[in-house]
Structures are given as C-alpha cells and as structure tokens.
C-alpha cells in the first residue's frame, strides 16, 4: 500500500529508534543508564493520584467527556494562570485542555496552516515543530539561535530576511534543549513582532516551573491578541507525562478555531485524569519548591559529570536538562557514541535538535542521584 506523500517529509522520531537500540543493549546484559530522555521518573503528588482514583467512582466517569474539558478543569487552568503568571483568562473560551502539549502543536498547525505556508521553527529546537509542519506540507524556515546571542532570535534580522507567507512562529521559553529563559521585555517585543507582521507566535511553555523560580508567560496580563498563543503542560511540572494533560491559552477566536479541529479528532479526556489534573493545578507552590530541590541536587552531580567529560555548560539553565558544549576538537556525536558503547551511558546528541546543536550534548535530570553517581564512576574509570 503506498503511503501518503506527506510521510515523505518525516522520519521515525529519533528517540523511538534510539530507545529500541538501548533496549537491545540492555537485553544483551549491558546496564545502560539513560540520561537521554526527559521523561520525569518521579511520582506525581499523592493527592493527585488519589483524586484520579476517586474520579473512577464518579457516576459519569466512563462516559464521553466534553470536547473542551470539564468546567472544573478549565477553571483550575485559568486559576493556575492567574496565580503563577498573573494572566487573567476567561475559563469559558480562552483556555482549551489538551492531551499533552504535543498534540496541540498538530491542532494549531491544522487550524492555521495551508499547504505551502511558511513556518518559523527554532534551530536548535523541539523536533515536533518541524515534523508536524512537514506532515501538513507547510514550508519550514529554520531561524538560528546561537549561544553568542543567548539563544534568543534576532527579530530584526528575521524581518530583513523577509516574512512573506510566514503564518506561524514557534518559540519555546524556557527553551529546550538549551535551558534559556526569556524575559518579560523579550516577550513584549515578540508580541509586537507578531502583530506587526501578522504572524501567529506560539510559545510552548512546558518547562516554566523546572529549575526556574519566575515562571513567565508570553500572554499579556489583560489583552488577548489574536497573534499570540501559549501551550502549557502538566507533564514536567507535576511528573504526569504519561497522563497526557496539557492546555492551550489564547484569544477566544483562536481557541474556537482550534476546537473546530480538535473536536473532530478526539471525544474528550478520561474523567479521572481531568479530576487528578484539577487537584494538581490547585496545589500550593510547596510542590515546586520540593521538586526543584531534588532537581538541584541531581543537577550538581550532572554538572560534575559534564566537567569530567571536559564539556562546558552555561550557568543558570532552566528545565529538565543540562545543555553542554563538547570539548574543542571532539565531535559531540562521537562523544555520545563512545559513552553509549564504552560506558553504557545514553545521552542525547545536540544535532537532533538542529544544525545549531551539532557541537552540543544534552544530559537529562530524569535519573536518580545513585544512577548519576554510577555514570560518573564509569566515566572516571
Ligand atoms: C519543548 C517541548 N514541547 C512539548 C513537549 C511535549 O510535552 P507534552 O508531554 O505536554 O506533550 C516536550 C516534551 O518533551 C518538549 O520538550
């Protein structure tokens, strides 16, 4: 059976392939430590798991749920945005619960892109922006992020290059994989850029509570622009990656348009997951304090590992990773291979995030301190 032309633009996801290789190595008895992937290994808050289990007893737990989420979830999401970002959203029509933010990238793209439209995608950046644009036969235009520019886009240079037919620009701050934070001033400039050039700028914001004490949103406190939207997620903030709960915030007009696509693709989210998510979003910030204490201890050890490898990591990175430059004269890709095949340690080569990542390696904080100690021991041996 011949597959559709749109598949020609995408390949199997790097981790889908690489984790098969890691599993095969483990089957051969190799004790591979995974510092490659950003899947939180810690448990979600116990109250959240309890709320999810109680949700199973709800009289309508097993029925189809509303396409735009139960009202309690939308209220909890807007409450969360108000408490942590000081953004006031209308729970009726300015927030849309999603099954993870990844699906939101597809929904937004299906809502706004026509074949041949251009999409600005960060390099380095999350590979899904590129693959989803390719699946919709849109044209990806990579914009360069560089360490010398603090991994922020040069908006003036982008304007000079020409923005004809550009419909969407993906940004992601705190940025994965570099851990760069945005500033309120930069978000203001981005919003002005979006409005001036009539481009939909979407900030993908799943890391704002990890190794970061000042979460920022691209949205304006009170004014809803049709040119700015934001994705957010419970995956990393509450260790709920497997639950698949995220959200999209924006103007009521844009949310309504995205719902037109989404309501044709799924039939609501399982009730107990929504009940658990409500609980998570209502937790006090004590949760983030404890979570970040733990990641800080892990990070210290990962930074030691980075130093032992003669790699260099910029200070103050946010998010679930440490992004480090490979030693001069050594290719990051060969370093990653040596670590996997000689030291049974899986880390991620920066090239999978784009050309600009080719000299870098990404280390995940999603492993216990004991595992990181063991990795360090193997490297020193
Ligand atoms: C930048 C970025 N965006 C989105 C996602 C997807 O997160 P979710 O679990 O909410 O779909 C990830 C996951 O790793 C990510 O790194």
In the chain, where are the structural domains located?
A: 5-44+285-380, 46-281
Structure-token pair, residue 297: 């201890």
Taking Cα atoms as reference points, which of 169, 230, 232 lies closest to residue 196? Answer: 169
Q: Which residue out of 39, 105, 108, 235 has the highest number of ligand 1 atoms within 8 Å of its CB and is therefore the one to mutate?
A: 235
- Topology of the domain comprising 46-281: 3.40.640
Ligand 1 centre to CA of 236 (Å) is: 8
Using the atom order of ligand 1, give the atom closest to the CA of residue 176. Answer: 1
pLDDT tens digits for 187-241? 999 999 999 999 999 999 999 999 999 999 999 888 899 999 999 999 999 999 9
Report yes or no: 194 and 228 within 8 Å, Cβ to Cβ.
Answer: yes
Which residues form ligand 1's pocket by a CB distance below 6 Å? Answer: 38, 100-102, 126, 172, 176, 204, 206, 233, 235, 241, 246
Mean pLDDT across 119-130: 97
Percent of the chain with pLDDT over 90: 93
Q: Residue 204 Cα, ligand 1 centroid: separation in angstroms?
A: 8
Closest residue CA from atom 15 of ligand 1: 126
* Domain range 5-44+285-380, its CATH number among 2.60.40.10, 3.30.1490.20, 3.40.50.720, 3.90.1150.10: 3.90.1150.10
Confidence (pLDDT) at 148:
94
| Ligand 1 atom nearest to 104, measured from its CA | 11
- Taking the centre of ligand 1 as the mean of its atom positions, its distance from the CA of residue 100, in whole angstroms, is 7
- The pLDDT tens digits of the residues spanning 311-367 come to 999 999 999 999 999 999 999 999 999 999 999 999 999 999 999 999 999 999 999
The answer to whether 205 touches 314, Cβ cutoff 8 Å, is no
Using CA atoms, how far residue 314 sits from 210, 345, 362, in Å, is 17, 22, 12
For the CA of 241, the closest atom of ligand 1 is 9
Q: How far is the CA of 130 from the centre of ligand 1 (A)?
A: 14
Strands of the sheet with 166-171, listed across from one edge: 95-98, 246-249, 228-233, 200-204, 166-171, 118-123, 139-144
Please report the pLDDT score of residue 301 as a whole number. 98
Q: Which of 126, 218, 249, 277 to mutate to test the pocket of ligand 1 (most atoms within 8 A of CB)?
A: 126
The pair of three-digit structure tokens given for residue 316, joined into one six-digit string? 């103050």
Distance of CA 166 from the midpoint of ligand 1 (Å): 23
Residue 227 CA to ligand 1 center (angstroms) comes to 22
Instruction: Pick the atom of ligand 1 nearest to 233's CA.
Output: 10
Q: For ligand 1, atom 6, which residue shows the shortest CA distance? A: 102
Q: What pLDDT, on a 0 to 100 scale, did the predictor assign at position 372?
A: 98
What pLDDT was estimated at residue 223?
A: 87
Q: Answer yes or no: is pLDDT of 22 > 90.
A: no
Atom of ligand 1 nearest to the CA of 125: 1
- Cβ–Cβ contacts within 10 Å for residue 57, how many? 9
**Tens of pLDDT along 76-113?**
999 999 999 999 999 999 999 999 999 999 999 999 99
> Residues 6 or more apart from 120 whose CB is under 8 A from it?
141, 142, 143, 158, 166, 168, 169, 170, 199
Dig out the tokens for 156 from the structure.
């003036």
What pLDDT is recorded for position 138?
97
pTM score, two decimals? 0.96
The residue nearest atom 14 of ligand 1, judged by CA position, is: 38
- Kindly give the distance from the C-alpha atom of residue 245 to the centroid of ligand 1, in angstroms, as a whole number: 11
Token digits for 6?
A: 């749109």
Give the C-alpha separation, 381 to 371, whole Å: 15
Q: List 142's β-bridge partners, or say none.
A: 121
């Amino acid at each position: 059976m011949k597959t559709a032309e749109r598949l020609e633009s995408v390949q199997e996801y790097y981790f889908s392939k690489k984790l098969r290789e890691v599993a095969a190595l483990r089957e051969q008895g190799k004790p591979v430590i995974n510092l490659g992937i950003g899947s939180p290994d810690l448990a979600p808050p116990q109250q959240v798991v309890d709320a999810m289990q109680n949700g199973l007893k709800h009289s309508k737990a097993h029925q189809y749920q509303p396409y735009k989420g139960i009202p309690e979830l939308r209220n909890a999401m807007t409450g969360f945005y108000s408490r942590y970002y000081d953004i006031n959203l209308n729970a009726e029509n300015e927030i849309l619960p999603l099954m993870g933010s990844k699906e939101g990238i597809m929904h937004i793209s299906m809502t706004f892109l026509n074949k041949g439209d251009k999409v600005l995608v960060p390099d380095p950046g999350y590979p899904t922006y590129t693959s989803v644009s390719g699946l919709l036969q849109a044209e990806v235009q990579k914009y360069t992020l560089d360490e010398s520019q603090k991994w922020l886009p040069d908006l003036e240079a982008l304007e000079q290059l020409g923005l004809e037919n550009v419909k969407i620009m993906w940004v992601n701050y705190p940025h994965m994989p570099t851990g760069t934070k945005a500033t309120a001033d930069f978000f203001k400039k981005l919003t002005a850029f979006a409005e001036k050039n009539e481009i939909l700028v979407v900030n993908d914001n799943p890391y704002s509570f990890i190794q970061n004490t000042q979460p920022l949103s691209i949205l304006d406190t009170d004014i809803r622009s049709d040119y700015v939207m934001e994705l957010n997620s419970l995956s990393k903030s509450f260790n709920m990656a497997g639950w698949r709960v995220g959200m999209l915030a924006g103007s009521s007009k844009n949310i309504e348009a995205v719902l037109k696509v989404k309501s044709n693709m799924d039939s609501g989210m399982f009730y107990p997951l929504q009940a658990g998510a409500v609980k998570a979003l209502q937790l006090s910030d004590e949760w983030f304090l404890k979570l970040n204490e733990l990641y800080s201890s892990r990070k210290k050890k990962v930074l030691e590992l980075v130093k032992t490898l003669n790699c260099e990591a910029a200070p103050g990175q946010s998010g679930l990773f440490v992004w480090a430059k490979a030693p001069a004269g050594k290719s990051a890709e060969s370093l990653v291979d040596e670590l996997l095949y000689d030291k049974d340690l899986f880390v991620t080569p920066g090239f999978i995030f784009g050309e600009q990542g080719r000299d870098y390696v990404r280390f995940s904080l999603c492993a216990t301190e004991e595992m990181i100690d063991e990795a360090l021991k193997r490297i020193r041996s």
